[in-house]
Amino acid sequence: PIDSPRLTVIGTGYLGATHAICMAALGYEVLGVDVDEEKIAKLQSGETPIFEPGLPELLTKALDSGRLRFTTSYTEAARFGDVHFICVGTPQQAGSDAADVSYVDAAVRSLAPHLDRRALVVGRSTVPVGTAERLTGLLRELAPAGTDVELAWNPEFLREGFAVDDTLHPDRLVFGVASDWAEERLRAAFRPVLEYGAPVVRTDLATAELVKVAANSFLATKISYINAMAEVCEAVGADVKDLADALALDDRIGGRFLKPGLGFGGGCLPKDIRAFAHRAEEMGVGQATSFLREVDKINQRRRARTVDLVGELLGGRIAGARVAAWGAAFKPNSDDIRDAPALEVARTLHGLGADVRVYDPAALGNARRAFPELSYGESALDVARGADVVVLLTEWTEFREVDPDALGAVVDHRRIVDGRHVLNAGRWRAAGWEYRALGRP
Ligand code: UDX
């Protein structure tokens, strides 16, 4: 029946696993689909593939309720689902700024030939504008003759660390559709979320695809804007923290995503702005997005500048210095180290001959596997023992709460670089620390 469609979620990575689990928690019958047998076996046994607060508990409940199952079979998926969500990854292509959409294509190619009744296929992945129109053609071509299948686009906006809440209570739902029927089906597939009050923007496929990259570009631009101001502040001896606080009080500007520091990383913002600029160039409107290249460069410069600050605090002697690196994840409440500014700084310092010891509350395992050449420790104080300088790189609450005197007792020199502007400079200086932060005197 139209008011309780059965849902399949294709791709059980970060986005797909969260979507499948949350939809089952809301009461839908859900089938998660992935080509990775190991991942499917883990999920089926109650193990989440990612670190995400609240998700393991919801997975256990959903499995116990019998509403959530996982499979590697597309035949089963096609038979089961009324609405098929595509949630596979679109990473940056090797050697190019373009997004790699081959997993999205593969999902449509695998599913379409098995569809046996009227169904809606819904893309949620972040894709170059124009992909949905192309996939509409592919779907029509590959679905068995006479089956009435349609494609819609419904971008997701979830943040790591808040993925469950962002899925259950999104700021908005964007429905890129080609018919009223598709909109009705989407409304049925999000009924509890809509009842909670999420506003819907109905639009065409291309606009829906663009909303996602335009939103992420805006957020990245806002961060790089304040970081560009940090560069100006540094040149003239002004204080970017006070500047940002003052700008934030203008409610047309607002304080969110206006935190200066080491800048953005992760699996979305950096690759999305590059892919968007690349796609715009392909479409002949490269001028309209050329500022995103600057946004990217400003962001990269923050990493280099943080390494410089460490060098300045060490009197230019990085080689042989003992550096305590606090943080590895690209942001707090996450174990994700994709394009993590923290690890790039740690690796650069290591490359310059420093003895770098890294600690992170959640991402140590991932960091160890990816960069075995670095040293790691089990706590913030542990890695700081005998350190010549401490560098705060990811703004975990636990780092904000460290007592300057307790830390001072284990380090060799009281020097700290606050890469995220989260420590109270006055308090640390009063405790005898040389405190430095990007864009502050
Ligand atoms: C982002 C978008 O917010 C989300 O809507 C989209 O769906 C995926 O990309 P996420 O990658 O989880 O989500 O990270 P987010 O919380 O947005 O933070 C991005 C990065 O910006 C982090 O590295 C963070 O440390 C940094 N950041 C954020 C700043 O440097 N300053 C700020 O003021 C805010």
E strands, 276-333, where?
322-326
Q: How far apart, in Å, are the Cα atoms of 397 and each of 394, 420, 422, 433?
A: 9, 12, 9, 20
Question: ipTM score here?
Answer: 0.93
Q: Could you tell which of 209, 219, 229 is best to mutate to test the pocket of ligand 1, judged by most ligand atoms within 8 Å of the CB?
A: 219
Ligand 1: centre distance to CA 269 (Å): 7
- Residue 62 tokens read as 């959903």
Return the closest-CA partner of residue 27 out of 217, 191, 240, 150. Answer: 191
49 — pLDDT class (breaks 50, 70, 90): confident
* pLDDT tens digits for range 297-311: 999 999 999 999 999
* pLDDT tens digits for range 93-124: 999 999 999 999 999 999 999 999 999 999 99
Round the average pLDDT of the chain to a whole number and report it. 97
pLDDT, position 157: 95
Nearest CA to ligand 1 atom 1: 159
Q: What phi and psi, each to the nearest 5 degrees, are found at residue 61?
A: -60, -45
Q: Could you tell which of 92, 124, 223 is best to mutate to test the pocket of ligand 1, judged by most ligand atoms within 8 Å of the CB?
A: 223
Ligand 1: centre distance to CA 265 (Å): 7
> What number does the ligand 1 atom closest to the CA of 160 have?
12
Task: Tell me: is residue 257 an annotated ligand-binding position.
Answer: yes
| Alpha-carbon span 19 to 87, nearest angstrom | 8
Tell me if 7-203 shares its fold with 239-436.
yes
Q: Could you tell which of 212, 269, 295, 395 is best to mutate to test the pocket of ligand 1, judged by most ligand atoms within 8 Å of the CB?
A: 269
22 — pLDDT class (breaks 50, 70, 90): very high
Domain borders along the chain are 7-203, 239-436
Task: Tell me: is residue 222 an annotated ligand-binding position.
Answer: no
* pLDDT tens digits for range 144-156: 999 999 999 999 9
Task: Tell me: is residue 372 an annotated ligand-binding position.
Answer: no
Active site (annotated) includes residue 268: yes
pLDDT, position 230: 98
In SS3 terms, 204-216 reads as CHHHHHHHHHHHH
* pLDDT tens digits for range 355-379: 999 999 999 999 999 999 999 999 9
Task: Tell me: is residue 260 an annotated ligand-binding position.
Answer: yes
Ligand 1: centre distance to CA 50 (Å): 17
pLDDT, position 7: 98
Q: To which residue do tokens 């790189």 refer?
A: 393
Torsion of CA 172, 225, 161, 339, to 10 degrees: 120
Residue 127 has pLDDT above 70, yes or no: yes
Cα 35 to chain center, whole Å?
22
* pLDDT tens digits for range 249-287: 999 999 999 999 999 999 999 999 999 999 999 999 999
Residue 387 has pLDDT above 50, yes or no: yes
Ligand 1: centre distance to CA 404 (Å): 28
3 — pLDDT class (breaks 50, 70, 90): low
Q: Give the DSSP letter string of 138-155.
A: HHHHHSPTT--EEEEE--
> What number does the ligand 1 atom closest to the CA of 265 have?
23
Task: Determine the topology of domain 7-203 in CATH.
Answer: Rossmann fold (3.40.50)
Q: For the chain, how are helix, strand and coil distributed in percent, rounded to 5?
A: 45, 15, 40
Residue 378 is given by DSSP the state S
Nearest CA to ligand 1 atom 2: 159
> What number does the ligand 1 atom closest to the CA of 272 have?
9
- CB distance 302 to 262 below 8 Å: yes
- Residue 107 tokens read as 């999902």
Ligand 1: centre distance to CA 198 (Å): 21
- Residue 291 tokens read as 């500022």
CATH class of the 239-436 domain in this structure: alpha beta
* DSSP three-state, residue 318: coil
- 251 CB neighbour count, 10 Å cutoff: 7
Torsion of CA 135, 137, 140, 141, to 10 degrees: -110
pLDDT, position 1: 42
- Residue 385 tokens read as 């023992």
CA angle 19-24-25, nearest 5°? 95
pLDDT, position 50: 87
Nearest CA to ligand 1 atom 34: 257
Nearest CA to ligand 1 atom 16: 159
* pLDDT tens digits for range 57-80: 999 999 999 999 999 999 999 999
